[in-house]
Amino acid sequence: MENIQPKRILILGGGFAGLSTAMELEKSLGRDSGVEVTMVNRENFFLFTPMLHEVAASDLDLTTIVNPARKMLRRTNFFAGEVRDVNLTARQVVVAHGFDHHEHTLEYDYLVLGLGSTTNFYGIPGLEERALTMKSLSDAIAKSSDCTPGGSGQRVLQGEEPTAHLRRCRRRIRGSGNHRRNQ
């Protein structure tokens, strides 16, 4: 009797593209033992980025936009780690994880790339240095503490009039998709 290896689908990235790919594969493949799906993501959670600005504005608790990846995926293997190298010829991906960042090599038959994006500043002079980007949970938390009374931003600008501090915080949140003001 021949031992047939399952087809290995490796998904790199656990954002919208990677997670929705894994969920669709779970739905369409069901319990097909001939396919093994693995997702690699730096974080062990899915972050709903369109609502980061609401966390920064303290309008929403961060737990409402964070979902554990393993709970969302029933059949997909999950690997919390960082992609170090992709060898398309050998069909291998080197990932690192743990406190010591030790490496593992994952082999695949099919590769899905959903590693995210970088902010495009469109070559506008000075924009990158002055822009307040928000792409991660730590970005939102930092901006939230900057605009919270007693937060780090208030300590940095000691002596600032309270109304000036609120105007600065409003300006930081404005344009992020939700125009409510943090008052």
Q: Taking the domains of the chain in order of start, what are their residue ranges?
A: 7-113, 127-173
CATH (one of 3.50.50.60, 3.60.15.10, 3.40.1440.10, 3.40.50.300) for 7-113: 3.50.50.60
CB neighbour list of residue 30: distance below 8 Å, 6 or more residues apart: none
Question: For the chain, how are helix, strand and coil distributed in percent, rounded to 5?
Answer: 35, 25, 45
Beta-ladder partners of 39: 11, 78
d(CA 59, CA 177): 13
d(CA 114, CA 65): 19
Q: Express each pLDDT in 123-173 by its tens digit.
A: 999 988 888 788 888 888 887 766 655 544 443 444 555 555 555 555 444
pLDDT of the chain along its 183 residues, tens only? 567 899 999 999 999 999 999 999 999 998 899 999 999 999 999 999 899 888 888 888 889 999 999 999 999 999 999 999 999 999 999 999 999 999 999 999 999 999 988 888 889 999 888 887 888 888 888 877 666 555 444 434 445 555 555 555 554 444 444 444 443
Neighbours of 145 (CB within 10 A): 16
